[in-house]
């Protein structure tokens, strides 16, 4: 009896407050619709960092939050003088190169020039599309006061592999050590058997 009373009470209260249970009501959600978002929207960047180089404070951001192969992405770069806070007003060259997993021994990937950009309201914007997943290095180059400046920052396109090259290399070393241990043990066992027979 109590269950029936509780069910009737729940049904009446939910009908009064928000419609019948199981019935969805449309309502207005503040903000932009998802189909209107792109790389120029106010979505969070995948990477944001600040660097200080010889009197300049440099901030860079990469959009969108998780760049995927074949999708459009963008770099936003801010260059301000540390002493006067005045923005740099020259042109900036953007290049990009793939970082192979053998880069720790000095192997470098092919470098592509993305473009040369003038300032656009104190911001340097460079769009790019990367066809393959992997680790990349974006370089920005500019000249000020007769000095050349190069700022490199890494970016990951697509999901990281489950087993990276360093794990594979470590696994190969472990397998090699195990093989050497097995061969040495076998040799010592063979030598013991020979000694036992003589």
| The predicted structure's pLDDT at residue 124 | 92
Query: Taking a C-beta distance cutoff of 8 angstroms, is the pair 151, 60 a contact?
Result: yes
| The predicted structure's pLDDT at residue 71 | 85
Count of helix runs (H) and strand runs (E) in the chain:
2, 8
| The predicted structure's pLDDT at residue 13 | 56
Whole-Å CA distances, 111 to 33, 97, 151: 37, 4, 15
| The predicted structure's pLDDT at residue 35 | 43
| Paired residues of 116 in beta bridges | 93
Q: Give the contacts of 97 (CB within 8 A, at least 6 positions apart).
A: 108, 109, 110, 111, 112, 136, 137, 139
| Paired residues of 80 in beta bridges | 57, 87
| The predicted structure's pLDDT at residue 21 | 44
Q: Is the pTM of this model over 0.85?
A: no
| pLDDT mean values, one per 10 residues, the chain (198 residues) | 58 53 42 45 67 85 83 88 83 88 62 88 88 87 87 84 69 88 88 79
| The predicted structure's pLDDT at residue 7 | 61
């Amino acid at each position: 009896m109590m269950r029936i009373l509780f069910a009737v009470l729940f049904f009446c209260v939910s009908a009064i407050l928000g419609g019948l249970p199981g019935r969805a009501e449309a309502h207005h959600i503040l903000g932009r619709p998802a189909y209107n978002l792109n790389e120029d929207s106010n979505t969070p960047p995948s990477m944001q960092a600040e660097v200080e180089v010889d009197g300049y404070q440099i901030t860079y951001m990469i959009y969108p939050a998780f760049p995927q192969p074949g999708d459009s992405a963008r770099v936003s770069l801010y260059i301000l003088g540390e002493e006067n806070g005045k923005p740099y007003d020259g042109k900036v060259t953007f290049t990009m190169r793939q970082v192979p997993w053998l880069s720790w021994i000095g192997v470098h990937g092919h470098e592509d020039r993305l473009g040369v950009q003038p300032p656009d309201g104190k911001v340097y914007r460079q769009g790019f599309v990367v066809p393959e997943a992997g680790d990349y290095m974006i370089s920005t180059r500019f000249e000020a006061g007769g000095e050349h400046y190069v700022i490199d920052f890494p970016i990951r396109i697509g999901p990281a592999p489950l087993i990276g090259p360093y794990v594979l290399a470590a696994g190969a070393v472990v397998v090699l050590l195990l093989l050497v241990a097995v061969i040495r043990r076998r040799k010592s066992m063979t030598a013991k058997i020979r000694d036992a027979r003589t």
